[in-house]
A and B are shown apart, each in its own frame.
Chain A
Amino acid sequence: MKKLKPYMLLILVVIADLIVFAGSPDLGKVILKSTGTNFAQMLGVIPPIFLLIGLMDVWVPREKVIKFMGEGSGITGVLLAILLGAAAAGPLYAAFPVAAIMIKKGAKFTNILVFLGAWSTMKIPMFLFEMASLGYAFAITRLLLSLTGILLMSWLINKLMSEDEKRNIYAKHSDVARG
């Protein structure tokens, strides 16, 4: 039973899928197709990301990450977090393991939050596409607001989390294998 627990969500969703399929085979087929697409999309980004994380783990010295993104890294750390997030592509869930390795290497919590925020909504490839679809005014206004909002929210979330809660997160990732 203990081995099954991590798969709880998957099991529940599969049961729900089966119920939908029994009620409406057509919708069931749509679900099967879109779930397949999702897994295919994951295969597109997740293996190389984990590969890069593994390499980062052994090659990037902790002292360097602390220096550039840790406590006392100041504006450099924030800028770096924004750039790293914005240069990425791929869904937000792909950012989580990357953020985990940054935590392991000693990056500051607010920088982690800025990184996640930038990845979620400031990705450069997406921004270019947004300009093309929705216009310059829309995309640029949203980018500037998002930047401000991400910085404010990261600061606020960091304030609202206790030292204990943050320590727990850092302890969880102290060995990335347990991430």
Chain B
Amino acid sequence: MFEILLYAAAVSLLGLSYYKDREKTKKGLKKAWKSFLNVFPAFAGVLALTGLALSIISPDFISRFIGNSTGFLGMLTTAVIGAITLIPGFIAFPLAASLLEKGAGITQMAVFVSTLMMVGIVTMPLEIQYFGRKEALLRNAFSFLFSFIVAAVIGVVVS
């Protein structure tokens, strides 16, 4: 659905741009193509790595791992799994909800959801290429630690 909207927006703006200034539009397209080619190798590598990581760390694997573990160790496990993998939200949220029903702790699920969205180990090569090593390390490390705060607060608020 979102993809359709995105394509519709891109195509209609392209049309408008072409109508207003052909030369500028051509220049823009060339730039778009060039910047795409430039990051394509890193993109392809990251996508392949995600494919590999997600197959080994599947939702099944995760539920086996954290379904019944509790306490800080459980949080750490879920945090690390969340940090590595990139499970799209539309899979991750129902997964977290079903794990909660199976008895997983709310703090574990909160830290999982938070690291899942904010920390991306497998996408780091791409992030480094764009913003350098230091930004990538700092952003991911801070987000990882921050996820524990989120989890602790959610543990208090939601119970």
Contact = CB atoms under 8 A, between A and B. Distances in A.
Are A and B subunits of one complex? yes
Interface of A: 6-10, 12-14, 16-17, 20, 27, 30-32, 34-39, 41-42, 44-55, 57-59, 89-93, 96-97, 99-100, 113, 116-117, 120-121, 123, 125-126, 129-130, 132-135, 137-138, 141-142, 145-146, 149, 153, 156-157, 160-161, 165, 168-169, 172, 176-179
A118 to B, nearest CB: 11
Contacts of B123: 91-93
Given A31-B55, A45-B6, A13 B109 contact: no
A134 B122 CA distance: 26
Question: Is the contact region of chain B dominated by helix, strand, or loop, or is it mixed?
Answer: helix
A5 to B, nearest CB: 9
B29 interface: yes
B32 A50 contact: yes
B28 A54 contact: yes
Given A20-B52, A113-B139, A58 B47 contact: no
Nearest to A48: B10
Nearest to A156: B142
B88 interface: yes
A51 B52 CA distance: 29
Contacts of A39: 44, 47
A30 B149 contact: no
Given A133-B94, A134-B97, A134-B109, A141 B139 contact: no
Nearest to A146: B150
Contacts of A172: 132
Contacts of B2: 89-90, 125
Nearest to A120: B118
Contact of A149 (B14, B106, B125, B150): B150
